[in-house]
Amino acid sequence: MRVVVFDLDDTLYKEIDYLRSAYRYIAGQLAGDEVEREEIYSTLYGAYWEGCDAFAALMERYNDKAMTKATLLHWYRTHKPQISLCNGCREFLSRLVAEGCRLGIITDGRTVTQTNKIVALGLDRYIPDEDIIISERFGSEKPSPANYLHFMDKYGAEARFYYIADNTAKDFIAPNRLGWTTVCLKDNGQNVHKQDLSLPDDFLPKYTVEEFGDSLFELLNL
Ligand SMILES: [Mg+2]
């Protein structure tokens, strides 16, 4: 049996799309009209690209007493995002299901935020809730082995385990040690967390692929 587990952010979809979606939502909440909506969005997105605190920039510009950082953060984390799977991802997931592979997710973050993303992407149609490991509700974060052992306990050590992810700092070290096949989806330049391929071997994926395409199918013998 093959058990294929995915990271979520910057693996199954691009996290920058979540950021854009959240900024659009915030602009919609605050603006009185279309022009103001665009201004607010541009202020947030511009500050982000300049490496500044986007919410501080917005509060400085609008100086609205009713606007607090807590409210902005709450909207950012709890809005229902408009995001979509990476190119080729849906076909890949369908093929895995058709081939009888078992799928899972290991992601770090808040339960509400990550669940909203998973529902928006339609991933709950492919993956049972118990195999969606979100750090907040699970109780530990990567690189804790516990998050990966969930799958080994469930499917038994004789299954073949794969982890497909993007973050060299924390994604691959535990599954490498547990004997999983680790695969990194290469940053196309948009990733929120940059990949560091100069880390010790323990941290690095066994394979790197550009996208959800033929090389990934070959890696899984599909
Ligand atoms: Mg990631």
Q: How far does residue 135's CA lie from ligand 1's centre (Å)?
A: 13
Q: Are residues 108 and 158 in the same domain?
A: yes
Residue ranges for the chain with pLDDT beneath 70: none
Residue type (1 letter), 154: K
Do 113 and 180 lie in one domain? The reply is yes
Position 205 scores a pLDDT of 97
The domain boundary, picked from 27, 54, 78, lies at: 78
Measured in Å, residue 184 CA sits from the centre of ligand 1 at 10
Domain of 142, in residue numbers: 2-13+84-219
**Token pair recorded at residue 140:** 């530990």
Are 103 and 71 within one domain? no
Domain ends where: 31, 62, 78? 78
190-198 long-range contacts (CB < 8 A, ≥24 apart) are 190/10, 190/14, 190/16, 191/10, 191/14, 191/15, 191/16, 191/166, 192/9, 192/10, 192/15, 192/16, 192/19, 193/10, 193/166, 193/167, 193/169, 195/166, 195/167, 195/168, 196/168, 196/169, 197/168
- How far is the centre of ligand 1, averaged over its atoms, from the C-alpha of 35 (Å)? 34
Q: What is the pTM of this model?
A: 0.95
According to the model, what pLDDT value does residue 14 have?
97
- Give the pLDDT of residue 176: 98
Distance from Cα 8 to the centre of ligand 1, integer Å: 6
Asked if residue 126 and residue 30 are part of one domain, the reply reads: no
Question: Which pLDDT value is given to residue 157?
Answer: 83
Q: In the chain, how many domains are there?
A: 2
